[in-house]
Structure 1
Amino acid sequence: MPPESPVPEAEAPRDCPLCPRLVALREELRDRHPDWWNAPVPVFGDRQAWLGLVGLAPGMWGANRTGRPFTGDYAGDLLFATLGRFALAEGVYEARPDDGVMLTGCIILNSVKCLPPQNKPLPAEVAHCRRYYEAALPLLPNLRVLIALGRIAHDNAVRTAGGRLADFPFAHLAEHKLPDGRVLIDSYHCSRYNQNTGRLTTAMFEAVFARAIELRCPA
């Protein structure tokens, strides 16, 4: 079982009915893999976090299987290694929800809590699920910096903050002051595809977190 959410008041119910396409896939996978999580994936991390990672959605073999964001798939290897490098995680990541890893000063909030087909949520599905992302933010009093992992996460963070997408163009390492006062830093998603094609390297990914640390502790 994954660790309990630090913001249980903002979580989706296990059988959330909002998105019929995602519900259908969830039910199919519950039949095929009854030992998997196969439900909305809860927030993971520190309720007192200053840094929020805005993800896309659970991966088939990652969070949809394990119940913890970025746990059990290729993307998680780079993410948790980076979090450890910047002292944002404690423990040894073993790609299991019970490996004891804890985030410190950091929290992961997905834009979509359920697995979408081909890892591509529809705009309506992102909009439906935004209510849970929005509900979590007021419960995180110290959250000052956000890292968006990919364009969909970027768009979700901007819209939630009340911004116009045209005023906040997505680009790797782009930095935005959002209308709600938080700072948003963009990153290419740490997916297997982006890593294997060289679109995102370890150095590029670490640069995003290094900048976040600078924003927290300016010289």
Structure 2
Amino acid sequence: MHLLVVEDDPVIADHIVSGLGHFGHSATLARTGSEAIAALAGRAHDAVVLDRMLPDGDGTSVIRHMRSQSGAVPVLMLSALSSVKHRIEGLQLGADDYLAKPFDIDELAARLNAIVRRGVPRSDGVNIEVGRLRLDPSSHRVLYGSASAVLNRKQYSLLAHLMRNADRLVTRSMLLECVWSYSFSPTTNIIESNMSRLRTALQEIGCDPIETQRGAGYILRAERCA
């Protein structure tokens, strides 16, 4: 894999780059948020290792920029802020995983492999379609008629799972397991916040097919995709 490592501490940055090199990964190093954004525009990366605290601001601003663009590159956030509150906040802002400092390089490599693996579309490159609503796995776009929108990885995975189960109830537990690989229910509204952003994106292209079943889950109605 080729990775973008965003870390301003030279000792930690060298530890990450050299350590991941032993696993066969190459890396571009950025020391600030602005350098990271420039690097993302310059070439493709398989994943991003992102320090939360950067000289020019909070690393979450880099995630916001990424998600406002293509949104498809997975992000593992590093931080000395290790409380449950900070981990949840990082995940809700768009990180795919969160690892507290100090960390073991073997665990970092394993977590990177996991989030990249989770990001591979399960459709094997085939578009997913329900009526006029279509998902394009190559670009992470949702299309409805001539309108389209780019989804981030979580929104894409949520919609893909609902479309594969059109007109069937998809429970919160199913979404937590399939989209986040959680076997437990976190004390957070992580599904609801991501679902809200997904529904906004769909409404903006003229489609509103997701029905909330309070206390149970969600149903994507095929008739609303006609």
TM-score bracket for the superposition, by shorter chain length: under 0.3
Give the TM-score normalised by the residue count of structure 2.
0.25
Larger relative contact order (Cα-Cα within 8 Å, sequence gap ≥ 6): 1
- The structure whose Rg is larger is 2
TM-score after normalising by structure 1: 0.25
Between structures 1 and 2, the one with greater strand share: 2
